[in-house]
Chains A and B, each alone.
Chain A
Amino acid sequence: MEERKLNEKESLELISQMIKNTQQKLERHNGMPFLVWGYASFFVSVLIWTLLKNSQDYHWQFLWFLIPIIGFPTMMFFLKKEDAGVKTYIDKIISYIWMGFGVAGFVVSAAAIFYWNIPILFIVLLLMSTGTAITGLVIQFKPLIISGFLCILLSFACLVVKGFDAILIFALVFLLMMVVPGHILNYKNKKNNV
């Protein structure tokens, strides 16, 4: 493409072509953040459940902080690696949604260190599944919408199940809420690229 004058019809065609090209390139959404947070939450939860079951030592609960310690650097690494060079308005909205839910989740988790009565597993699941459902609605991806709303309901299981086994429920819900739709999203992208 060069710097040349266009006639009016060519101008309109060029505008429509550029917008169309950009939209086609950006229709793909990445399942990577869901996989990173989903797997990190699942494996850390299973690890904590195993340690608590075997030792009954509550200090293992501090291992929950492994989730952000693993999640943030891994996500930043993949975001840099897979940077498409362009940011859409939808990307911006999604990052704001997760900023809000992430801060809320972190504040509640930190508060739970001092206030043991907070049903932390239930609250975190409710926040994350709501974030997942909203993300699904924004990018119009059915598996995320379904898993998000389904997991809003399933989060109540953490109120019903008592003791350490609630952690196992927490792990399984994360698998269903983020890992499954994350893989479906990546599979769909791969299929569309072929």
Chain B
Amino acid sequence: MFKELDPLLHSELRLAVMSILISVESADFVYIKETTKATAGNLSVQIDKLSEAGYIEVERGFLGKRTRTVCKITPKGVEAFNNYVEALKGYLNIE
């Protein structure tokens, strides 16, 4: 029996954001935008969705005079990501 893939993570941009955040302590909006090559508007919407689900923490602050949004994965996000990868392995027959 295949495990169901988390619909929140089974989307290109949200999965890319989570994959970046799983491997770092924190990353800001500009860094994620450059790495994923997404548009600012779309990225902002997807970050809000991940934040509402409790998968990431979003901190809005200032760096000098510029505004800065820093994202960090939460323990709930790490668990969801691990479950997602485990489910994927099942679909792809990887032990």
Please give the residue numbers on chain A whose beta carbons come within 8 Å of chain B beta carbons, in ascending order: 1-6, 8-12, 14-15, 17-19, 21-23, 25-26, 80, 83-89, 91-92
Contact = CB atoms under 8 A, between A and B. Distances in A.
B14 A88 contact: no
Given A4-B11, A11-B88, A15-B85, A86 B28 contact: yes
Contacts of A91: 25
A23 B84 CA distance: 21
A23 B23 CA distance: 8
A10 B92 CA distance: 11
Contact of B63 (A1, A15, A83): A83
Given A22-B24, A80-B63, A87-B27, 8 more contacts: A2-B42, A3-B12, A4-B12, A5-B10, A12-B85, A14-B16, A85-B31, A86-B27
B38 A85 contact: no
Given A1-B36, A84-B31, A89-B25, A22 B92 contact: no
Q: Which 10 A-B pairs have the closest CB atoms?
A: A85-B31, A18-B19, A85-B28, A8-B91, A86-B27, A87-B25, A1-B38, A15-B19, A1-B36, A86-B31
B46 interface: yes
A15 B10 CA distance: 11
A1 B31 contact: no
B93 to A, nearest CB: 10
B63 A22 contact: no
B19 A19 contact: yes
Contacts of B84: 11
A17 B16 CA distance: 9
Given A2-B38, A3-B42, A85-B30, A15 B15 contact: yes
